[in-house]
Amino acid sequence: MPAALVTGGGRGIGRAVAIRLARDGFDVAIGYRSDAEAAASAAAEIEAAGAAAVAFGADVADAHAAATLVGSAEEALGPLDAVILNAGITRDGLAVRMSAEDFSAVVDTNLTGAFHVARPALRGMLRRRRGSIVAVSSVVGLTGNVGQANYAAAKAGLIGLVRSLAREAGGRGVRVNAVAPGYVATDMTAVLSDEQRGAILGATPLGRLGEPDDVADACAFLCSAAASFMTGSVLAVDGGLAMGA
Ligand code: NAP
């Protein structure tokens, strides 16, 4: 069976991606930061779908922990064919009031953390001349957003990272892409006020929030043979919110 690693795979979008990849025939390693219970329940759901599953706690902002995560996943499941760089956090606030710590924490997890996981995974993929990496960026990385200078900078940075890795790895047949979800119903967006939610729905042509499965479908597509001529692309999964950005 091919093997996949999904960071932040215990909850929200990552969980949906992990389960979807299992249904597509991947054995799946889940990375989580602190919610071991959620990761274990995602692993149980993957096993129920007939695939092997393992879960490892690792803070992706820590380069050593991220490399250990990739090593542990490969030791348990074999060489990784797909890696989903999904772990992410928010620490919102207007830029003029944002602390340097809140800016760095979001960049360290959402952008540098993705690099920490991608680097060791890519080494093996380049040697084997196959593999697919998908980073979970955001519409906000394309458009910017009030109160999210840290998050938008990290998500825009992910697009630069993906396009650079795509150029470096393309010659070896390794593909690197991003998805840019709009607002998706997860713990991360559960904190939105009714007013914020109304504004988002009003600006979204399809008139609803995304579901984690919407993003999982796009990630699974990018990891599949159906996307074999796609690399360096940024697939919007946003109900039309950022059209044209
Ligand atoms: P979520 O429900 O809050 O889940 C975030 C996941 O990331 C959790 O599994 C968490 O682990 C993990 N994580 C956070 N920091 C980590 C760290 N330092 N090391 C390892 N894992 C870490 O969020 P979500 O909505 O599913 O978001 C998933 C991704 O999609 C994020 O990158 C987010 O920015 C992006 N995204 C979300 C939306 C949206 O509207 N929800 C839109 C666009 C993009 P624990 O379970 O252990 O806490």
Summarised one tens digit per residue, pLDDT across range 177-234 is 999 999 999 998 898 899 999 999 999 999 999 999 999 999 999 999 999 999 999 9
**Domain-embedded: residue 71:** yes
**Domain-embedded: residue 211:** yes
Widest pairwise Cα distance in the chain: 50
**Domain-embedded: residue 241:** no
Name the residue of 5, 6, 11 whose CB sits within 8 Å of the most ligand 1 atoms, as the mutation to test its pocket.
11
Among the listed residues 179, 191, 181, the one whose alpha carbon sits nearest the alpha carbon of residue 242: 181
- Ligand 1 atom with minimal separation from the 39 CA: 46
Question: For residue 141, what is the domain's CATH number?
Answer: 3.40.50.720
Residue 243 alpha carbon to ligand 1 centre in Å: 24
Residues in contact with ligand 1 (CB, 6 Å cut-off): 7-8, 10-14, 31-35, 38, 59-61, 86-89, 109-110, 113, 136, 138, 181, 183-184, 186-189
C-alpha span between 86 and 113 (Å, rounded):
10
Structural domain including 80 reads 3-235
- Ligand 1 atom with minimal separation from the 155 CA: 34
**Tally of domains within the chain:** 1
Query: What's the predicted TM-score (pTM) here?
Result: 0.98
Cβ(27)–Cβ(53) under 8 Å? yes
Q: Is 151 a catalytic residue?
A: yes
**Domain-embedded: residue 245:** no
**Domain-embedded: residue 51:** yes
Position 245 confidence tier, pLDDT thresholds 50, 70, 90 = confident
Position 174 confidence tier, pLDDT thresholds 50, 70, 90 = very high
Residue with the smallest CA separation from ligand 1 atom 10 is 8
**Domain-embedded: residue 243:** no
